[in-house]
């Protein structure tokens, strides 16, 4: 019998799927659009006890080949700005990847709201188009026109990190599911001279299965595209729903 101390880091315990964080991803292509919407719309996609802090939204697309334990993949996220116990953070009500490894790891460790989707980031004429398709719908389509050398500080990230909702149903009929609010202080570093800003647009096709359209933009604040690195450590449980 395999002793508990001999199990791998994840299931399957005899051939674990991914390694232990922290995770590091290098030389990412990163595509961002920042906009404003109505706070009432954001409240429809944020779980208690988080409170909506601003009306700003950040749409993120990324792709890379060099990274730790999870292989290369593409990712899409929509960030909204929240707070809990006076700690500012970002929350991702919509999150998509195109590989089963980061899908599994993100959901199992941090509780990230991940689904599989088709994702692409491609240059077109003067712009860079980032698009996420799922079940025949263009649930996110974003454009950025790089016009000047930008700084990552221009993107309005919250100071405390990213909140995530770890929610795992019970295996028992009347069992209590696992519900935890997690805060993780990851860090994205833009490559000097390889991060640009400019005009942008974003559009959400209506889908009741993936209702990104709930966060319809009211005012585009700007867009960014370039290269960078991402560091993702383990998080901290800040609230237990029990």
| For the chain, percent of residues with pLDDT exceeding 70 | 100
3-state class (DSSP) for residue 104: helix
Task: Report the DSSP pairing between strands 148-149 and 187-198.
Answer: antiparallel
67-79: pLDDT as tens digits = 888 889 999 999 9
**Nearest CA to 186 among 65, 16, 62, 98?**
62
**Nearest CA to 238 among 185, 181, 167?**
181
Contact 136, 214 (CB under 8 A): no
Q: What pTM does this model have? A: 0.95
28-54: pLDDT as tens digits = 999 999 999 999 999 999 999 999 999
Rounded CA gap, 142 and 148, in Å? 18
What structural domains and CATH numbers belong to the chain? 19-240 (2.40.400.10)
Alpha helices in 61-121 (DSSP H): 100-105
Helices (H) and strands (E) in the chain, counts: 2, 16
């Amino acid at each position: 019998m395999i002793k508990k101390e001999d199990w791998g880091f994840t299931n399957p315990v005899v051939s674990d799927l991914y390694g232990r964080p922290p995770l590091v991803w290098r030389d990412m292509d990163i595509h961002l659009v920042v906009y404003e919407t109505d706070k009432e719309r954001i409240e429809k996609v944020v779980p208690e006890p988080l409170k909506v802090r601003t009306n700003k939204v950040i749409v993120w697309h990324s792709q890379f080949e060099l990274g730790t334990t999870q292989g290369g993949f593409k990712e899409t996220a929509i960030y909204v700005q929240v707070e809990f116990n006076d700690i500012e953070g970002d929350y991702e009500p919509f999150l998509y990847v195109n590989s089963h490894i980061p899908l599994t790891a993100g959901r199992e460790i941090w509780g990230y709201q991940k689904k599989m989707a088709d994702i692409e980031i491609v240059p077109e004429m003067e712009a860079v188009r980032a698009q996420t398709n799922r079940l025949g719908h263009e649930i996110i389509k974003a454009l950025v026109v790089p016009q000047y050398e930008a700084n990552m500080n221009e993107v309005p990230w919250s100071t405390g990190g990213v909140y995530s909702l770890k929610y795992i149903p019970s295996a028992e009929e009347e069992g209590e599911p696992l519900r935890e609010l997690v805060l993780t202080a990851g860090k994205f570093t833009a490559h000097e001279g390889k991060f640009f800003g400019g005009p942008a647009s974003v559009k959400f096709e209506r889908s009741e299965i993936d209702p990104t359209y709930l966060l319809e933009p009211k005012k585009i604040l700007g867009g960014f595209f370039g290269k960078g690195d991402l560091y993702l450590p383990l998080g901290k449980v800040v609230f237990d729903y029990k």
